[in-house]
Chain A
Amino acid sequence: MIRDITIGQYFPGNSVIHRLDPRVKIIATLLFIIEIFIVDNFLGFAVAGLCLGAVIAVSRVPLGYIVRGLKPILIILLFTFALNMFMIDGHILWQWGFLKITAEGLRTAVFMAIRLILLIIGSSMLTLCTRPLSLTDGIERLLSPFKKIGLPAHEIAMMMTIALRFIPTLLEETDKIMKAQQARGADFETGNLIHRAKSLIPILVPLFVSAFRIAQDLAMAMEARCYRGGEHRTRMNEMKFKGRDYAAFALLALFLAVIIVESRIF
């Protein structure tokens, strides 16, 4: 299950999408997310889906890999689908006791499901095709105008970098601790809710201890490597908009125009 999560993972590659400036990709992703919440007809979703499909094709990230990332959110997806389908009043298509399905409900449910799927795939495309550090760099630079009003842009980016680095380490650690406690007879699978919550203590305490140890070690290692915040720092990979970035902006504008026009017409 843990291995299935693709959000936040990076899929190494050298496609045009991979090489785009992270700032372009972040802005595009944000606009895409806003778009799919504006759209409320099938044609609009088809256009959005098609564009996303094209991006996936160009990026050469295997479709299977992306779809697998949907697995962990399947439950949320079904839950929102059911919620929308049964809860919205309108023209009744089917009824059994207090359960009813309305045309409006069905329509909203389908739209919501499509939105969620597009949202997950769209945002995972951002992380799949952008090296984590470029991503945080991009965020830092997009946020840097706000430094003037006291926003700690560099610190936020550094925290994200470290989180990305240590998520796999902490997952591994969790797995190890779970196995060690299972070997001592711990049981995480049976019993009622309270029992299960209690059974998490033997995992959580060592995990916190580990996390603090990592934090301490890492802080010392960073200091030893002359880390002193964002001042005086340079970057190995400088960010400059290139031809392909301007092209991407143009395509993005086109996509925006199509969606807006389409939603006006239909």
Chain B
Amino acid sequence: MSIRVENLIHIYDKGMPTEQLALDNISFTAEDGQMVGIIGHTGSGKSTLLQHLNGLLKPDSGRIVIGGTDITEPGVSMVQIRKKIGLVFQYPEYQLFEETVAKDVAFGPKNLGLSQEEIDERVREAIELVGLDFETIKDRSPFDLSGGQKRRVAIAGVVAMRPEVLILDEPTAGLDPKAHKDVLAMVEEVHRRTGNITILVSHNMADIARLCDKIIVIDSGKLVTTGTPYEVFSKKDELRAVGLELPPVTKFTESLRERGLQLESTILDIDQAADQIAAYLKRKAK
């Protein structure tokens, strides 16, 4: 399985005075088992891109090929696209609607036209995969859960569709530090256990640097740069130009380097940073 996005162009309000080029010739690829981060400030075109990957929007030109199928072709049914790609929107808990958690999670699989047994199995699997106890939670109302739990249930609703590509738009927005960590750990766990492609959109550069194999940077509908976290966060001036920051640790070590400290460039990990700073200070102390 792989995703290939080729020369994607999308124009809003075509032919109107408000016409706007929302996506400008975007191309990238992602391979099986990869975690891909998309970064860009609000209004950069990220959401438009995500909605294309899920078939909610159709491009004006360009192709999105997923595992050999071009999902922009007119003949491709929505059910086929949804089987391949799951999209978790921002604040997904706002879409919960059923009386019980189990019924809510079953909504997606049901829409795929699966058998009842298959649905039941997937619901159980998905609820456990997002770190909740199936037996205790299945009959509770989703509206009585805590914020972090609601979000897990909402994500389970998409995970239960067993998508080969799972897209998460700001999955930790508005959560407190504990829930933030838990939800990210859960995303990692789902990724590891299913081996899917996970696309993570986030403003939190530390999370992106820690989790992703590959990063895509978007600004005003254009692809600015792409590469490994190390490659992308090495381009600090380029990032600053599009209003993005380095991960806090990297920002810190870079400012030390500017003061003349001999550290490696673009340190992304706090332990690595501590190792090098400690080594430097010990050298100096001698």
Contacts and interface: CB of A to CB of B under 8 A. Distances in A.
- Is there a direct interface between A and B, measured as CB atoms under 8 Å apart in the complex? yes
Interface stretch (A17-25, A89-97, A129-137, A182-190): A182-190
Categorize the interface residue count of chain B: 20 to 34
B65 to A, nearest CB: 20
A74 interface: no
Interface string B246-271: 00000000000000000000000000
Contact of B56 (A177, A182, A209): A182
A210 interface: yes
Contacts, number: 58
Contacts of B95: 177, 180-181, 184, 202, 206
Nearest to B112: A185
A176 B107 CA distance: 17
Interface string B69-105: 0000000001100100011110010111100000000
A206 B161 CA distance: 21
A167 interface: no
Contacts of B82: 183-185
A201 B103 CA distance: 13
A173, A201, A206, most chain B CB atoms within 10 A: A206
A209 B94 contact: yes
B56 A183 contact: yes
Contacts of A206: 94-97
Contacts of A183: 54, 56, 82, 86-89, 158
B171 interface: no
A179 interface: yes
A9 to B, nearest CB: 15
A260 interface: no
Interface in A164-209: 173, 176-177, 179-187, 201-202, 205-206, 209
B157 A184 contact: yes
Given A179-B51, A179-B89, A184 B97 contact: no
B115 interface: no
A126 to B, nearest CB: 25
A173 to B, nearest CB: 8
A52 to B, nearest CB: 24
B143 interface: yes
A183 B111 CA distance: 10
Interface residues of A, number: 18
Given A182-B56, A184-B108, A185-B79, A177 B86 contact: no
A179 B89 CA distance: 9
A137 B107 CA distance: 46
B158 A184 contact: yes
Nearest to B160: A184
A209 B92 CA distance: 13
A202 B108 CA distance: 11
Nearest to B113: A185
A187 B56 contact: no
Contacts of B108: 184-185
A179 B167 CA distance: 14
Nearest to A182: B56
A54 to B, nearest CB: 25
Nearest to B86: A183
B97 A210 contact: no
Nearest to A177: B95
Contact of A187 (B78, B86, B96, B143): B78
A40 B86 CA distance: 59
Interface string A207-231: 0011000000000000000000000
B89 A202 contact: no
B111 A185 contact: yes
Interface string A21-63: 0000000000000000000000000000000000000000000
Contact of B94 (A177, A184, A185, A187): A177
8 contacts: A180-B89, A182-B56, A183-B88, A184-B95, A184-B111, A185-B110, A186-B107, A210-B94
Given A182-B56, A183-B89, A185-B110, 19 more contacts: A173-B94, A179-B51, A179-B56, A180-B92, A180-B94, A180-B95, A182-B78, A184-B108, A184-B111, A184-B158, A184-B161, A185-B78, A185-B111, A187-B78, A187-B111, A202-B97, A205-B97, A206-B94, A206-B97
- Sorted nearest first, the 10 A-B pairs with minimum C-beta distance are A185-B111, A205-B97, A184-B108, A180-B95, A183-B87, A185-B82, A180-B89, A202-B97, A206-B97, A206-B95
